[in-house]
Amino acid sequence: MKRRRASSRSKRFLWFTIAILLGAVLGMLYGWLVNPVRYVDTAPDMLRADYKADYVLMVAEVYAKDGDLAMAQFRLARLGAESPLRITQSAILTAKELGYSQQDLQKMVQLSEALQATLPQSTQITP
């Protein structure tokens, strides 16, 4: 009687394993081949922080070569509703956390300084 139970358990375990594997394979086939995810017109502001930092670095590198601050601001504006300066500052913090090289960080800082120079200076009113 004990042998019969052991055999029955191993058959159930075998069928259970086959069912799980078959379900996983069919699920992957459906997700990858039959109905894969389609990203259409995904906005750059949907990028993760590390990819945003890479994007800002690329903008900073182009700015270092051509000096076109207006175009740099236009490119940075694609990353969200925040100001290009705020986007650049956030990217610098992320780049520091990720261990970007000093050269790359310096380019990003130069872009940040150029953006900051375009801001209107606050005026103090004296009574």
Residue-wise pLDDT for 35-94, tens only, equals: 888 877 777 888 899 999 999 999 999 999 999 999 999 999 999 889 999 999 999 999
Predicted TM-score of the model (pTM)? 0.64
Q: Tokens in use for 55? A: 């994007």
Residue from 8, 98, 85 nearest 49 by CA: 98
Residue-wise pLDDT for 3-14, tens only, equals: 566 678 889 999
Which element (helix H / strand E) includes 11? helix 2-29
Q: Which amino acid is at 38?
A: R
**Extents of the domains making up the chain:** 1-38, 44-117
